[in-house]
Amino acid sequence: MGKSLRIAVYDDKYPTSFVTPRMSRHTILRQRFLPLNLVSSKLEGVTLIEPAPSVDVVHAFNRIPLNSSKYIMSFESHLPRQFALRKRGLMARYLVSRITNPGCRRIIALSHFARRSFLRQHADNPELGLLTEKLLVRHPNIIVPATEDAMAQDTAQELVLTFVGAHFGRKGGCVAVKIAEKAIDQNLPIRVNIVSSLQVGGHIWTDPTSPGFFDPYIKLLELKNVRHHGLLPNQGVRHLLRNSHFCILATLGDTFGYSALESMSEHTPVLGTKVCALPEFLEDGVNGISLPVELDDIGDWSSPGYDSRGEAKYAQYFRDEVERLASLAIERLKPYIGQPALMAPLRREARRTAEVMFAAEPAAAFFDALYDRVALERAREPAQLDPALDVSSPQSLPRETLQPMPLPFDPGRQNAIGRARHIPAAGGLSTAASVATAAHLSAHPDRG
Q: Do 174 and 291 fall within a single domain? A: yes
Q: Do 366 and 333 fall within a single domain? A: no
**pLDDT (tens digit per residue) in 390-422:** 999 999 988 754 444 555 555 444 544 444 444
Supply the range of the domain harboring residue 218: 159-355+401-443
Q: Do 76 and 197 fall within a single domain? A: no
Q: Is 1 helix (H, G, I), strand (E, B) or coil?
A: coil
pLDDT higher than threshold 50 for residue 446: no
Q: What percent of the chain has pLDDT above 70?
A: 88
Q: Do 363 and 285 fall within a single domain? A: no
Q: Is residue 393 in some structural domain? A: no
Q: Is residue 129 in some structural domain? A: yes
Q: Do 249 and 103 fall within a single domain? A: no
pLDDT higher than threshold 60 for residue 250: yes
Q: Is residue 389 in some structural domain? A: no
Q: Do 36 and 86 fall within a single domain? A: yes
Q: Do 130 and 279 fall within a single domain? A: no
Q: Give me the pLDDT at residue 414, please.
A: 52
**pLDDT (tens digit per residue) in 64-98:** 999 999 999 999 999 999 766 667 778 888 999 99
Q: Do 349 and 211 fall within a single domain? A: yes
**pLDDT (tens digit per residue) in 30-43:** 999 999 888 888 88
Q: Do 172 and 316 fall within a single domain? A: yes
Q: Do 119 and 164 fall within a single domain? A: no
DSSP for 296-319?
-TTS-B--S-GGGTTSHHHHHHHH
Closest to 303 measured CA to CA, from 208, 368, 180, 386: 208
pLDDT band at 199 (very low <50, low <70, confident <90, very high): very high
285 near 104, Cβ under 8 Å? no
Kindly report the three-state secondary structure assignment for every residue of 5-22.
Answer: CEEEEECCCCHHHHCCCC
Q: Give me the pLDDT at residue 428, please.
A: 34
Across the range 246-273, mean pLDDT stands at 97
Q: Is residue 217 in some structural domain? A: yes
For residue 328, what is the domain's CATH number? 3.40.50.2000
Across the range 304-315, mean pLDDT stands at 94
pLDDT higher than threshold 60 for residue 334: yes
Residues facing residue 295 across a β-bridge: 301
Kindly report the three-state secondary structure assignment for every residue of 350-371.
Answer: HHHHHHHHHEHHHHHHHHHHHH
For all residues of the chain together, what is the average pLDDT? 90
Q: Do 271 and 366 fall within a single domain? A: no
Q: Is residue 340 in some structural domain? A: yes
Q: Is the peptide bond before 80 cis (omega within 30 degrees of 0)?
A: yes
Q: Give the Cα-Cα-Cα angle 408, 249, 344 (nearest 5 degrees).
A: 35
Q: Give me the pLDDT at residue 324, please.
A: 98
Looking at the 3D structure of the chain, how many domains does it have? 2
193 near 244, Cβ under 8 Å? yes
